[in-house]
Structure 1
Amino acid sequence: MLRQAAKRTRTKRAPPIEPALGWTYLSREALSRAKAQMDEESMGVRDEIGFLTIHQRYADRFFPGTSVLHTRARYAIFVPWLFEDLAGMVGPAAQRALRERERLLAGRLSDAGEAQVIGGRVFPKPSSQPPSTVYWNALAAWAILRPRPDGRTISRGQAHGLLKTVGSPIDDDGQPLLSFEPPFVRLPDRPSNWQSGDITLRLKKAEAGFLRERLAQLRGNGGRELSLLARLVRTEAAAPAEMWANETYAIAGADQGPLVRAQQAASLAGIGRAIYDALLERIVEIDDKRDISTRHREHLGVILAEQGPIAAGLDIAALEADIGSLPAKLLAVVTATRDWIAAGSGNPVALSDVYTAAEARKGPRARLAPTPNGRARRLEWSSDEHGLAGPLHYRWQQVSTLLDDLADPE
C-alpha cells in the first residue's frame, strides 16, 4: 500500500479523488522516492546516471524542507489556514472539501494576476499536486506542523482528525473531555480577505515574521549546525544574486567547505550529463547508423570549457563526508569523470563502459545498452528536442523566491 501511495504521489494526471495520496501515512523511504521523482520531473530530465542523488542530498542539507515544486512562501501559511477552516471534518468529506478550497484559491490568486499559482494552469480543474501536497514536508521540517509522538510526520488525514478532536465536547467545568495539541502551531491572524475577494501571494509583515522565526532555527548536517537557509534568513535581506555569491560564503559558517564542494559537484554533474548525451548521439550515429545532429557533442565542449576548471578540483572523499556515501556505480562515474576532466582528453568514448554500467540501473529503459531494448529506447530519443545539460541547481531558484518574499512583505 505504501508503494502504491508513493507511486500516486508521483503521477502527473490524478483522478478526481485519490484517497491514498494524502490520507495514508507514507514511510520516510517512500517520501524520499517520491521527492526524488518530483525533483527529476520538475528539472525536465531523466536522471539516467544518478546525479540527482547529489542534488537532493546537498539541497536537503543546505535548505531543509524545500522542494523544486515550491513557488511562494505564503503557501506555507495558506495550507494550515485551509485545514483549520475545515476543522470538524474528517475522511472523504474533508478530502473533497480541501480539494475544492485549494481549487478555488488557485482561481482567486490567478484572478489577482499572480503568476506562480499552484494549479493556476489547469484551473478550473483541480491540481494533481495541490499546495497541501507540495508544502506538507515543508510544514513539518519548518516546525509549523507538529510531529506525531514518535517524531514522524502526521498525514493530512491525521491532521483533520486532530483538528476535529480539538473541538471536542467540554465537561461541566468547561474543560475539554479530551486534551490534544492541535496539529499546527499558533498561526498569524487571517487577513480580512481570506474567505473572499482579491488575495495575493505577497506576505503580510506578521506572516513574514512568523516564517522568519521558524526558518531561522532550521538545522542542517544532522542537526549539528544551523542550516545555510537559516543563516540566509537571519540576514533579513533579499536573496544573493547566485548561490555561490560572496554574500553566501560570508554567512555560510561551517557550510563554507561543503558549499565549495557542492559547486564543484554541480559542475561535474553538468559535464556528466553532457557526456551521457554525447555518448548517446555517437551510438545512434555509429552503431545504429542513423543520421543525427552533433548538437550535444558540440555542447560537451562548451560546458567542459565553462565548468571543467571548477569540477576538476572536487575532493570526492570530502563530498561523501558532506552528504554520505554515494551508490557504488555513481561513485565510479563521479571518480572517472573527474579524472577524465583533469586529463584534458575531451573524447568521452573512454567513459562509455562506466556510464553504461551506471545507467543499467534503469533496466530495460537504459539507452546506452548494446541490446535490442537499448536500440528501441534510442529510437524514442530526439537529440534536437532533448535539453542541453547544465549544472545542478540545488533548488536555488525556489530558495531565492522564499528569501525575496520574506524580505519584502506588505
Structure 2
Amino acid sequence: MGWTYLSREALARAKAQMDEESMGVRDEIGFLTIHQRYADRFFPGTSVLHTRARYALFVPWLFEDLAGMTGPAAQRALRERERQLAGRLREMGESQVIGGRVFPKPSSQPPSTVYWNALAVWGILRPRLNERTVSRGQAHRLLRTAGATTDDDGQPLLSFDPPFVPLPERPENWQGGDITLRLTAEEAEFLRERLVQLRRNGGNELSLLARLIKTETEAPAEMWADETQAVAGPDQAALMRAQQAASLAGVGRAVYDALLERVVEVDDKREIANRHRDHLAAIITTHGRLAAKLDISALEADIGALPPKLLAVVTATRDWIASRSGNPTALFDVYAAAEARKGPRARLAPTPNGRARRLEWSSDEHGLASPLHYRWEQVSTLLNDLAEAA
C-alpha cells in the first residue's frame, strides 16, 4: 500500500484529532479549543506527539541524507530510514521512541510528520518567499537542486536556498551504530539559540517557552509553579487565566460524564454506577474555586473568540459552579446543544442514534475527567533535554 505526504490542511486536522485523543477522553463539548489556543500561545510549535528534542535534528539530517531523491522514491527511502532509526533507538533501551511500539513496522505518525510544524515554527526549516511552510515534498526537491546547475526544465538556477538552516555536525555514529535521544552540548546550544527567540502568536512578545528556555534549568514541577510565574512576564495574567480555564474544563468534562450517566439511568432505564457523578463532586472540591474565578472576556482577549456554543457552555458552567448547586441537570440543554455538533455521534441526544451511542459507552472504562494540560508534559521533556545535554 502506498503513502503520500499530507497537505497543510490535512496535517492541521490530524493535529487537532491527535490533541483530542491525547486528553484521555473524547472532546465531546469542545474544550479542546481552549487547550490548543493557550498551548499554541505559550508553547509555539509544540505537539502532544512530541517526545524528545533530538528529533528536531534527526528529521532534517534524514532529509539531507536523501538529497538528490524526490517523489515516491524519496518518500519510500525516508519511511525506511525512519523505521530503521526507531529500531536503533529501541535497541539502546530508549523509551520515548517514535515508532518504537510498532517496530519493525513503520510508524503511521513518523518523526517527519510529528516534528515538521515545529521545524518551521522554531526556525530550523526556512519559510518560502510567501512565508508559507515548505512541505516535505518541496524540501526533497529543494535538496535535489543542491548539486545542480539547472532545474528540471533545463533552466539555469539563479539562486539556491536549502530548506534547512545550517545544522550541527552529525554524530560519528549517525549512519550506523549506537545512537540515543540525548542531545550533545552543541546540539542543545543550536536548539536553544532558536527557541529563545520564539515570539507569542507571531507578535513581538517573547513566548513563555522562550522565557523558560532562557533560564537554562530543568522544567518546573508544574506549569503553575512559582518558577514559571516568575519568568512569565507579560503572560502572568494569561497564565493565571489558563489555569482557571483548565480547571473549568476539567469540571465541564466531569459534568458531561455525570449527565451521560444520568441519561443512561433515567431515560434508558439501565443500571449504571455513580462513578462519574461521584467524580464530579470530587473535582468541584479540587478545582471549583479556581474555575469560578475565570474572567471569560479576558480569556477571549487572550486566545480569541470562542465558538458560540462553547462560550455558552463555559459561561453556564462557571455560573453553575459559583452557585454551588451540585446538581448538573440544569446544564443539560446547553451541553446537549454543544455536543450536537457531532451529529449522529452525540450521546446526550434523545434519538435512536443517541441511544445506540450510549449503548457503546462504558462508564467503567471511560477515563475520569481531568483539567487541561496544555502540552506541559512535552514542554517539560524539551526543557529537561536541553538542560541535561551532554
Fold match (TM-score > 0.5): yes
Name 2:28's counterpart in structure 1. 48
TM-fit CA distance, 1:177: 4.6
Residue 40 of structure 2 contacts residue 201 of structure 2 at CA under 8 Å; is this kept in 1?
no
CA contact 2:250–2:372 (8 Å) conserved in 1: yes
Deviation string 1:63-101 (CA, Å, 9 cap, x unpaired) is: 000000000000000000000000000000000000000
What is the rounded CA distance, in whole Å, between the counterparts of 2:364 and 2:54 in structure 1? 39
Q: How many residues align?
A: 385
TM superposition shift of 1:36: 1.1
CA distance, structure 2, for counterparts of residue 142 and residue 177 of structure 1 = 28
Q: 1:281 & 1:179 partners in 2: Cα distance?
A: 64
Tell me what 2:277 maps to: 297
- Residue 153 (structure 2) aligns with: none
Pairing of 1:6-405 with structure 2 (within 5 A): 16-19=1-4, 21-22=5-6, 25-27=7-9, 30-169=10-149, 177-405=157-385
Aligned residues of 1:168 and 1:178 also touching (Cα < 8 A): no
Q: Secondary structure at the match of 2:105?
A: coil
Partners of 2:41 and 2:149 in 1: CA distance: 44
Give the whole-Å Cα distance in 2 for the aligned partners of 1:169 and 1:314: 60
Structure 2 CA distance for aligned equivalents of residues 279 and 78 of structure 1: 46
In 2, the alpha carbon distance for the partners of 1:409 and 1:72 equals 12
Unpaired runs of 5+ residues, structure 2, are 151-155
- Distance in 2 between the 1:145 and 1:68 partners? 20
Deviation digits for residues 287-316 of structure 1, max 9, x if unmatched? 000011110000000000000011010000
Report the Cα offset of residue 17 of structure 1: 2.5
**TM-score normalised according to structure 1 size:** 0.92
Deviation at 1:166, TM superposition (A): 1.4
Which letter does structure 2 place at the counterpart of 1:48? Answer: E
Taking the aligned partners of 1:190 and 1:61, their CA distance within structure 2 comes to: 32
Superposed CA deviations along residues 244-294 of structure 1, whole A, max 9, x for unmatched, are: 000000000110000000000000000000000000000000100001111
Shift of 1:169: 3.5
Q: In 1, are the aligned partners of 2:70 and 2:137 still within 8 Å (CA)?
A: yes
* TM score, norm. by length of structure 2: 0.97
Paired with 2:44 and 2:148, the residues of 1 have a C-alpha distance of: 35
Unaligned runs of 5+ in 1: 1-15, 171-175
Q: Residue 63 of structure 2: SS of its match in structure 1?
A: helix
Measured in 2, the distance between the counterparts of 1:221 and 1:151 equals: 15
* Residues 344-381 of structure 1 deviation map (CA, whole Å, 9 limit, x = unaligned): 00100000000000000000000001111110100000
Give the distance between the partners of 1:262 and 1:167, measured in 2 at CA: 49
Moved more, 40-49 or 141-150: 40-49
1:326-361 deviation per Cα after TM superposition (whole angstroms, max 9, x unaligned):
000000000000000000001000000000000000
Identity among equivalent positions (%) equals 78
Does the Cα contact within 8 Å between 2:250 and 2:371 map onto a contact in 1? yes
